[in-house]
Structure 1
Amino acid sequence: MTRRIWLWAGAHAVDDLYQGLVPATLPYFVLDHRYSYVAASGLTLAAALGSSVPQPFIGMLADRYRLGWLAAAGVALAGLGLGLSGLAGGYPAVWSLILLSGLGVAMFHPAAGKAAREVAGDSTTAMSVFAAGGSVGFFLAPVLATPALVAWGVPATALFIPPAVLIAFVLLRGHRRHLAATAGKALRRGADQWRPFFALTGIEVVRSAAFFGVNTFIELYWIRHLHASRGLAGAALAVFLVGGVLGTLAGGRIADRIGAVRTVQLGALAAVPMLIALRLSGGTIAPLLFAALVGVALNIPFAVLVKLGQDYLPGRPGTAAGVTLGLGVSIGGLFAPLLGLAAQHYGPQGVFAILCAAPLAAWALGLLLTEPRAILTAAALPATTD
């Protein structure tokens, strides 16, 4: 495992920090700006729209042209949009800035996913390091944001602009060296398997919807249902995201031993009892424990889905990453307004009751997955369609 995979993991952490800051700031928009649940979930929708819709098209461009600079430009835009949102005066401006932040995320993931796969090769463990970078970013968001937001309110989002500028500079500096190192390398080519790839995309959408649901409403669940403090609610979100990091890393190692398809199915099944236990538990310690276990279970398939998607589309690694790592993840936020309506009528506890059934759909779709065909590394061999 080379140092370059750790660089991409770090860049992924910074990029997804801004995705994680959206749900981390929602309770403060609700409590400080008096946004309704629906209005707050609309901010999640803005981030999801910006990051989901453009991703497949950006992935296609990344496959056709050498656009490695997109990763640097994307993380810079993600940081600037989110950082300025807390300084905006009205809801339309906040919504628009978060939309732009999501667009930056859309620019980052296909280029970064393609570059990371070039470095990782066929190692799911190495890809899990890259994917775990995103989980680390989501984890750091509430850890870093909660004390700042408690102290200074939502304008504190401006404090998170510098990391984006710094990592963008680092990526741009390394872009030329990366071009020189990969020039003339053989391309991964083979028959594209679209049917299992579509099933895999459906699994990622379901997984993402469950992840975004927990990520968006866990703090409000702690505050409104468990009657906990804001600080403990932030800790609950952090614990959930720590579990996500561990689950992502564990998923890569499990897949290298028992296979990618079985790992995806295992993660879907494991999430159901964990979500039920979280919804039914009370007190202080038990909910935190199950929040961590939910994070583990939901993220076991994460890196596996990214690598498996690129194995299904061996000649289109940017497109595959744009869908599985980008669109499939971000599109889960499109369900946030529906969950917001459920929260409006039944409270955050109603959202968690709904989420208990979501992994069953992912497990059913997992039964449609097949093992990827053999992949060749001959630049002259054209890709075909299934």
Structure 2
Amino acid sequence: MTDNTMAAGSAPAAAPISSGQASESAASANTTTFAVILSLSFCHLLNDMMQSLVPALYPILKDSYALTFGQIGFITLAFQCTASMLQPVVGMYTDKKPQPYSLMIGMGFTLVGLLLMSRADSYPTILLAAALIGMGSSVFHPEASRVARMAAGGRYGLAQSLFQVGGNMGSAAGPLLAAFIVVPHGQQSIVWFSAAALVAMIVLFQVGHWYKARRAVSKPAVRKAAGTTGAAAPALSRRRVGVAIAILVALLFSKNVYSASLGSYFTFYLIHKFGVDVQDAQLYLFAFLVGIVIGTILGGLVGDKVGRIPVMWFSILGALPFALMLPYANLFWTAVLAVTVAIIMASAFSAILVYAQDLLPGRVGLVAGMFFGVSFGLGGLGAAALGEIADHAGIEAVYKVTPYLLLLGLLTAFLPRQASLAR
């Protein structure tokens, strides 16, 4: 495939489009525009890097403000629930009225949240800052996912994986940056990362130009050829589509609640059980998050070749035996098992998202908003619930109970297997 420049496909919005121009535009749309996808992935990296600084701050905030595990969980809930509740709304709105420059505006919310978090001196202010960062995600993810699919040229799994892996890399970088910058220099050092938000806003402004130009030449027939309306609608009743969506949500629930146990509390678990210091615990968390990056890339590549459903089967049930062993392992094997679980579980997300987009053709923003939102929301609810369990039964109990949630992966057996969905 040939890479297009960021300005590829641009044309004056007011100019009439001939059949030859439409054919040329459709052909261009059917190539994978890696410049756009990689720009989105880079901004996703910066976005999630900044967001991942919030959980990386937890040990500092816990000591500075004498917070309980339950209060830590509610910080995660405040951050993820704003993203969860607003993302489907943003997705539905932009399905009808796409907003090319909304990506840049969403990054502005993250910038304000970061600045406030760096100066927060009370628990309510911390909650407000976390909520603002969540609002940034709610605007960024649905439209960025739509643009990634528009630039995919039919390689939807690869495009979503490349987009998602940027976020995973950003999440992985957060603890590393926290270990070497935030932990030594304290909460106020968060302000230094506002520069990343400004860089992302500049890049997203350019992506907005490409998006606006592409839409200007995309008549309905061209949009269909470009894949922005998705695959042909599968011959499923509304009830079966609803059941399939519910199953996908259940799969995300099992995956994300278990991921929340590692993402939010893994450092506390390592400190409590093995006596490692905060910096070393952040490095182990970094290794876990690198595993998520690897799994995301592999899941997208394999899903395009063998189908979405096999990837879902492997991703959720395949992680179960390793998750069951983790609470009984020594420090070395705890790290190995955590990374293994991360690689296997992360492979499912792009498969779930693309499968859902094929179930609901033409609703790319809604699906992206709903599933990114559900992902954030379930993780937030899971983090809050797991914090309460840790306060009452101990942090080790969390890692003995949560693996059984992965048994919900058996619901994959009830997903429709039409050819248009299984590919």
- Output the TM-score relative to the length of structure 1: 0.92
Q: Does 1:301 align with 2:348?
A: yes
Q: Which residue pairs with 1:273 in the alignment?
A: 321
Q: After superposition, where does 1:340-355 map in structure 2 within 5 Å?
A: 340-355=387-402
Cα 1:13–1:322 shift into 2, 3 Å? same
Cα 1:24–1:131 shift into 2, 3 Å? same
CA distance in 1, matches of 2:45, 2:419: 31
CA distance in 1, matches of 2:49, 2:204: 17
Q: Which residue pairs with 1:228 in the alignment?
A: 276
For the Cα contact (< 8 Å) 2:261–2:383, is it kept in 1? yes
CA distance in 2, matches of 1:126, 1:29: 37
Deviations 1:89-112 (A, max 9, x none): 110011011111101101111111
The alignment of Structure 1 onto Structure 2 pairs a total of residues equal to 373
Q: Does 1:367 align with 2:413?
A: yes
For the Cα contact (< 8 Å) 1:18–1:141, is it kept in 2? yes
Q: Does 1:199 align with 2:251?
A: no
The residue type equivalent to 2:358 in the other structure is: D
Q: Which residue pairs with 1:383 in the alignment?
A: none
Q: Does 1:76 align with 2:108?
A: yes
> Shift of the alpha carbon at 1:182?
3.3
Q: Which residue pairs with 1:242 in the alignment?
A: 290
Q: After superposition, where does 1:168-187 map in structure 2 within 5 Å?
A: 168-183=201-216, 184=218, 185-187=222-224
Secondary structure of 1:54's counterpart equals: helix
CA distance in 1, matches of 2:385, 2:313: 26
The residue type equivalent to 1:307 in the other structure is: V
CA distance in 1, matches of 2:418, 2:82: 31
Q: Quick check: 178-187 or 44-53, which moved more?
A: 178-187
Q: Does 1:256 align with 2:293?
A: no
CA distance in 2, matches of 1:270, 1:329: 23
Cα 1:296–1:102 shift into 2, 3 Å? same
CA distance in 1, matches of 2:118, 2:354: 36
The residue type equivalent to 1:268 in the other structure is: I
Deviations 1:354-383 (A, max 9, x none): 22112111x1222222235649xxxxxxxx
Deviations 1:134-177 (A, max 9, x none): 11111011011222222111222112111112111221133123
Cα 1:372–1:119 shift into 2, 3 Å? farther
Q: Which residue pairs with 2:23 in the alignment?
A: none
Q: Which residue pairs with 1:338 in the alignment?
A: 385
Q: Quick check: 317-326 or 69-78, which moved more?
A: 69-78
Q: Which residue pairs with 2:165 in the alignment?
A: 132
Secondary structure of 2:119's counterpart equals: coil
Q: Quick check: 263-272 or 29-38, which moved more?
A: 29-38
CA distance in 2, matches of 1:22, 1:140: 12
CA distance in 2, matches of 1:235, 1:327: 28
| 190, 205, 209: which one aligns with 1:157 | 190
Q: Does 1:15 align with 2:15?
A: no
Identity of aligned residues (%): 27
Q: Which residue pairs with 1:312 in the alignment?
A: 359
CA distance in 1, matches of 2:344, 2:57: 25
Q: Which residue pairs with 1:47 in the alignment?
A: 79
What is the aligned-residue RMSD (CA, Å)?
Answer: 1.7
Q: Which residue pairs with 1:378 in the alignment?
A: none
CA distance in 2, matches of 1:62, 1:43: 29
Cα 1:69–1:206 shift into 2, 3 Å? farther
User: What are the ranges of 5 or more consecutive residues in structure 1 without an aligned counterpart?
Assistant: 376-386
CA distance in 2, matches of 1:302, 1:345: 32
> Shift of the alpha carbon at 1:113?
0.7
Structure number with greater Rg is 2
CA distance in 1, matches of 2:411, 2:103: 31
CA distance in 1, matches of 2:146, 2:161: 14
